[in-house]
């Protein structure tokens, strides 16, 4: 250690002992950074600093320095009257890890109860093999709180060896200690633990019983599930039901389905039905899930009350379970759907269950719902209409698309999108033009997209690929949906329209109809608007000109300066994709573009073509290149050389 270093540390220690609050804090922070062990005594005192901020900074520094010396320096603080100092010291000790274990083990012998408690807490926080060994001593502490904390904690971090040790404490008379031991044993787990815990399921003490039930959940073996199912079949389960279901859920979650113990549904259904509607929400949730976990198909009706639960997540869970269970009898749900005395949510849920069914009576029930006078049932049926419904149901949709109620219109548009049948087109297109609500418009447009991309022979397809919603709407207005090919003349006429967006739309439709020709494209290339030019270049790609491509592009480039960067990019990319060698000559000039972006695009393009004759041109650029261009150049040169 040289003198300068020592001087610095001394200065820091001085600041720590004599400075104002901010100075002391900075000093502690710097010591933490430097891990200066010479400061340990000062830091140790600093743990009791009047400023909490300084004390915490000292704590962080002590942990950073680490080692037994620190533990020794501070351990006496555990007996201090100052609560804050004791807590902070405990934190530092646990932060020191194994280095502190021997010191803490000694403290377990202290006559001061609080010191022993802190020692146990610190050892628990360290959670290492060494600390566990030390903790075993605390099991015999005559303060039950300390012994119980040790038992519980050992269970959490202990191994099978500790089972034996903990088991010897089961005979304790103290209820809390017994609970802690049971919990600890359950935490360790395994068949032996199960054997040890099981007898306490019938303990006369409620607290011990609950702890054992929860313990079974933690242990998680088939026999645990067995024991819990037996409890679930009891008539007088009463108060413990929620915990039994929670534990059962935990256990079954860890087992493979074919390892489940067998269960007679009729035995457990009584308690389960009750638990679906009583108890706290997480308990009700598990009771609901039990139905699908145990596949209680025949008792699906018992979940109906959950459809009206206040808790949204629970209702959703119940619905999902019902869908999974696929009830064999839809009548109770149909009855619920029609019952106007029930809440909208329950009725909606009932329809959803019906819609998810694959039974033959499904369609008839849905048709009834669609034809009813009641908005709730109509809306429900629309929302959940499955894709494979028969034609009778499809026809019913038409009237609701023009309903006065906007939620019905929306639900109908969404349903039509799901079903994606071409016969909806004549209904959707006129509606698109008149509809005033934006989300319904979006839904209608989306439905058209679904139909148009479904591949069946339909007339919407030309308006799908690369169209925005607005463009589509305009195109439909201009050219209609009945066989757009027959409107070819009009479409071509649009190419001369004064409005840019109409010219663009015209090009897009022709492209999708595969009616683009070279004259059309050349004309568009000469358009004054860059958006049209871009579209034209894309069109060129579709024409498959082969050899003709380069001459066409050459004359286009020579015809006038290609001003817009967007267009240049499109051009370069087209040239690259052509795979033609002559493309090189057209791309090269772009290397000298004033725009870095275009330069890079050109470099990338040349790289992609892969012809090393361009190397000199690329190398020439390196001198003046900025960071991004340089990166692109290096990459390209590297690839072309190699």
Partner 1 sequence: MSMFASSPPIEISELVPIRDLILEQTGMFFEEKKFYFIEKRVQKRMQATNSTSVREYYRLLKLGGGDEIGQLIEELTTNETYFYRNIPQLQSFAEEALQLLVEEKRKAGDYRLRIWSAACSSGEEPYTLVMLIKEHLHDFARWKLEVVGTDIDTKIIAKAQMATYDERSVKDVPPVVLNKYFENQGGRHRVRPEVTNLVQFHHLNLMDRYAMRRMQGFDFAFCRNVLIYFDEDSRKKVVNGIYDALNPGGFIFLGHSESVGKLSGAFKLVKFQKSLSYRK
Partner 2 sequence: MSKKVLVIDDSPIVRNLHSVMLKTAGFEVSEAENGFDGLEKAMQSRYDLMVVDVNMPKMDGFTFCREMRASEEHKDVPIIIVSTEAEAEDKMQGFRAGANLYLVKPVKAEQLIENAKMLLQ
Which residues of the shown chain bind partner 2 in the complex (CB under 8 A)?
83, 87, 145, 148, 152, 175-176, 179-180, 183, 206-207, 210-211, 214, 239-243, 278-283, 310-311
CB 151 within 8 A of CB 184: yes
Of the candidate spans 200-208, 302-310, 398-406, 441-449, the one that interacts with partner 1 by CB under 8 A turns out to be 441-449
When CB distances are held under 5 to 8 angstroms depending on the partner's kind, the choice from partner 2, partner 1, none that residue 210 binds is partner 2
Classify burial at 463, counting beta carbons within 10 Å of its beta carbon; exposed 0-12, middle 13-18, buried 19 or more. Answer: buried
Q: Which of residues 570-609 bind partner 1 (CB under 8 A)?
A: 573, 595-597, 600-601
What is the nearest approach in angstroms of partner 2 to the Cβ of residue 289? 16
Tokens 């351990």 belong to 75
**Could you tell me the smallest distance in angstroms from the CB atom of residue 468 to partner 1?**
7
Give the Cα separation of 205 and 188 in Å (integer): 23
Residue 304: which of 282, 325, 326, 319 has the closest Cα?
A: 319
Contacted entry of partner 2, partner 1, none for residue 176, CB cut-off 5 to 8 Å set by kind: partner 2
Least distance in angstroms from the C-beta of 117 to partner 1: 20
Is residue 27 helix, strand or coil?
helix
How far is residue 351 CA from its own chain's centroid? Answer: 29
321 makes contact, choosing from partner 2, partner 1, none, with CB < 5 to 8 Å by partner type, with none
Rounded-to-integer distance, Cα 491 and Cα 380, Å: 42
What is the Cα–Cα distance from 364 to 358, expressed in whole angstroms?
12
Q: Which does 260 bind (CB under 5 to 8 A by kind): partner 2, partner 1, none?
A: none
Binding partner selected for residue 399 from partner 2, partner 1, none, CB under the kind-specific 5 to 8 Å limit:
none
The residue among 239 and 559 lying less far from partner 2, judged by its C-beta, is 239
Residue 349 interface partner, choices partner 1, partner 2, none, CB cut-off 5-8 Å depending on type? none
**Rounded to an integer, what distance in angstroms lies between the CA atom of residue 257 and that of residue 244?**
19
Q: Which range, of 11-19, 112-120, 209-217, 439-447, touches partner 1 by CB under 8 A?
A: 439-447
CB of residue 58 to partner 2, shortest distance in Å? 19
Q: Which two tokens mark 292? A: 């699908």
When the beta carbons of 180 and 495 are compared against partner 2, the nearer one is 180
- Pick what 323 binds: partner 2, partner 1, none; C-beta below 5 to 8 Å, kind-dependent: none
Cα 416 to Cα 390: distance, rounded to the nearest angstrom: 13
Least distance in angstroms from the C-beta of 613 to partner 1? 25
Say which entry of partner 1, partner 2, none residue 597 contacts (CB below 5 to 8 A, set by partner kind).
partner 1
Residues 6+ apart with CB under 8 A from 343: 308
- The option from partner 1, partner 2, none interacting with 152 (CB < 5 to 8 A, set by class) reads partner 2
Residue 279 or 506: the one with the smaller Cβ distance to partner 2 is 279
- In the complex, what is the shortest distance from the CB of residue 608 to partner 1, in angstroms, rounded to a whole number? 11
| Sign of CA pseudo-dihedral 548, 553, 556, 558 | negative
Give the three-class secondary structure for 308.
helix
Give the per-residue contact string, 528-567, with partner 1 (x = CB under 8 A; - = no): ---x--x------------------------------xx-
Q: Which of 124, 109, 28, 44 is nearest to 80 (CA)?
A: 44
Among 449, 510, 586, 587, binds partner 1 (CB under 8 A): 449
Q: With CB cut-offs between 5 and 8 Å by kind, which of partner 1, partner 2, none does residue 435 bind?
A: none
Q: Closer CB to partner 1, residue 356 or residue 531?
A: 531
Smallest gap from residue 185 Cβ to partner 2 (A): 14
Tell which residue, 235, 240, 253, has the closest CA to residue 213: 240
* CA pair distance 572, 590, nearest whole angstrom: 9
What distance, in Å, lies between the first and last C-alpha atoms of the chain?
54
267 binds, among partner 2, partner 1, none (CB under 5 to 8 A by kind): none
Long-range contacts of 138-147 (CB under 8 A, 24+ apart): 138/108, 139/165, 139/166, 139/169, 141/108, 141/116, 143/113, 143/116, 143/117, 144/174, 144/176, 144/177, 145/117, 145/176, 146/113, 146/116, 146/117, 146/120, 147/177, 147/180
Q: Which does 37 bind (CB under 5 to 8 A by kind): partner 1, partner 2, none?
A: none
In terms of C-beta density within 10 A (0-12 exposed, 13-18 middle, 19 or more buried), how is residue 68 classed?
Answer: middle
- φ and ψ at residue 21, rounded to 5 degrees: -55, -50
Q: Taking contact as CB under 8 A, which single stretch among the options 3-11, 24-32, 357-365, 509-517 is the one that binds partner 1?
A: 24-32
3-state secondary structure of 552: helix
Answer with the entry of partner 1, partner 2, none that 26 interacts with (C-beta below 5 to 8 A by kind). Answer: partner 1
- Asked if 438 and 406 touch (Cβ cutoff 8 Å), the reply is no
In the shown chain, the binding pattern of residues 257 to 296 toward partner 1, with x for contact by CB under 8 A and - for none, equals: ----------------------------------------
Task: Candidates 569, 633, 636, 637: give the one binding partner 1 (CB under 8 A).
Answer: 569
Write the burial class of residue 317 (CB in 10 Å: 0-12 exposed, 13-18 middle, 19+ buried).
Answer: buried
Cβ 325 to partner 2 shortest distance, Å: 25
> Applying CB under 8 A, does 56 fall inside the site for partner 1?
yes
What is the Cα–Cα distance from 218 to 197, expressed in whole angstroms? 11
CB of 283 to partner 2, least distance (A): 6
Q: Is 512 in the site for partner 1 (CB under 8 A)?
A: no
- What does DSSP assign to residue 517? -
Residue 279 interacts with which of partner 1, partner 2, none, CB < 5 to 8 Å by class: partner 2
CB nearer partner 2, residue 152 or residue 445: 152
**Which residue has 């568009």 as its token pair?**
524
Least Å distance between CB 458 and partner 2?
Answer: 50
Q: Pick from 453, 488, 500, 593: which binds partner 1 (CB under 8 A)?
A: 453
Contact of 322 with 332, CB cutoff 8 Å: no
Query: Which 454-493 residues touch partner 1, going by CB under 8 A?
Result: 464-469
- Tokens read off for 369: 């719902």
Are 478 and 429 in contact by the 8 Å Cβ rule? The answer is no
Q: Which is nearer to partner 2, 206 or 542 (CB)?
A: 206
Question: Could you say whether residue 90 binds partner 1 (CB under 8 A)?
Answer: no
22 is an interface residue for partner 1 by CB under 8 A: yes
Which residues contribute to the site for partner 1 (CB under 8 A)? 22, 25-26, 29, 33, 51-53, 56-57, 84, 442, 445-446, 449-450, 453, 464-469, 531, 534, 565-566, 569, 573, 595-597, 600-601, 628
């Amino acid at each position: 250690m040289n003198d300068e270093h020592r001087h610095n540390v001394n200065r820091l220690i001085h600041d720590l002992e004599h400075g104002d609050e901010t100075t002391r804090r900075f000093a502690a922070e710097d010591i933490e950074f430097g891990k200066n062990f010479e400061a340990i005594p000062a830091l140790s005192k600093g743990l009791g600093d009047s400023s909490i901020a300084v004390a915490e900074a000292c704590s962080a520094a002590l942990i950073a320095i680490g080692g037994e010396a620190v533990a020794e320096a501070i351990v006496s603080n555990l007996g201090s009257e100052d609560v804050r100092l004791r807590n902070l010291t405990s934190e530092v000790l646990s932060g020191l890890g194994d280095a502190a274990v021997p010191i803490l083990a000694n403290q377990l012998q202290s006559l001061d109860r609080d010191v022993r408690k802190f020692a146990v807490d610190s050892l628990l926080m360290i959670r290492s093999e060494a600390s566990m060994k030390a903790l075993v001593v605390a099991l015999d502490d005559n303060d039950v709180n300390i012994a119980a904390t040790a038992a519980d904690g050992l269970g959490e971090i202990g191994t099978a060896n500790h089972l034996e040790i903990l088991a010897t404490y089961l005979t304790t008379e103290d209820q809390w200690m017994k609970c802690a031991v049971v919990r600890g044993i359950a935490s360790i787990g395994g068949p032996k633990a199960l054997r040890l815990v099981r007898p306490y399921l019938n303990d006369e003490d409620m607290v011990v019983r609950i702890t054992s039930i929860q313990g079974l959940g933690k242990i998680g073996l088939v026999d645990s599930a067995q024991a819990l199912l037996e409890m679930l079949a009891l008539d007088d389960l009463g108060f413990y039901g929620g915990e039994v279901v929670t534990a059962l859920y935990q256990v079954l979650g860890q087992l493979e389905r074919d390892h489940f113990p067998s269960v007679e549904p009729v035995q457990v259904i009584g308690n389960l039905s009750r638990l679906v509607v009583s108890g706290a929400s997480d308990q009700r949730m598990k009771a609901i899930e039990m139905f699908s976990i145990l596949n209680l198909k025949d008792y699906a009706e018992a979940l109906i009350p959950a459809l009206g639960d206040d808790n949204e997540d629970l209702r959703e869970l119940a619905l999902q379970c019902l869908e999974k269970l696929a009830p064999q009898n839809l009548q109770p749900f149909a009855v619920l759907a029609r019952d106007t005395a029930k809440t909208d949510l329950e009725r909606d849920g009932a329809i959803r269950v019906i819609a998810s069914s694959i039974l033959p009576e499904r369609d008839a029930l849905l048709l009834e719902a669609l034809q009813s006078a009641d908005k709730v049932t109509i809306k429900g049926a629309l929302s959940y209409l499955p894709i494979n419904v028969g034609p009778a149901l499809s026809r019913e949709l038409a009237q609701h698309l023009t309903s006065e109620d906007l939620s019905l219109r929306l639900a109908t548009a969404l349903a039509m999108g799901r079903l994606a049948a071409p016969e909806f087109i004549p209904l959707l297109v006129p509606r698109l033009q008149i509809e005033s609500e934006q989300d319904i418009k979006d839904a209608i447009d989306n439905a058209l997209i679904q139909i148009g991309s479904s591949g069946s022979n339909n007339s919407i397809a030309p308006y799908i690929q690369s169209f925005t919603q607005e463009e589509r709407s305009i195109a439909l207005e201009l050219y209609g949906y009945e066989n757009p090919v027959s409107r070819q003349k009009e479409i071509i006429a649009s190419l001369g329209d004064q409005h840019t967006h109409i010219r663009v739309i015209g090009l897009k439709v022709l492209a999708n109809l595969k009616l683009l020709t070279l004259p059309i494209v050349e004309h568009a290339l000469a358009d004054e608007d860059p958006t049209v030019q871009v579209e034209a270049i894309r069109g060129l790609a579709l024409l498959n000109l082969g050899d003709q491509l380069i001459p066409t592009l050459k004359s286009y480039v020579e015809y006038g300066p290609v001003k817009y960067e967007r267009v240049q990019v499109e051009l370069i990319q087209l040239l690259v994709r052509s795979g033609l060698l002559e493309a090189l000559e057209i791309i090269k000039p772009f290397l000298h573009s004033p725009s870095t972006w275009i330069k890079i695009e050109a470099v990338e393009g040349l790289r992609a073509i892969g012809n090393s004759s361009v190397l000199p041109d690329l190398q020439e650029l390196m001198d003046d290149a900025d960071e991004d261009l340089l990166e692109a150049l290096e990459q390209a040169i590297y690839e072309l050389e190699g």
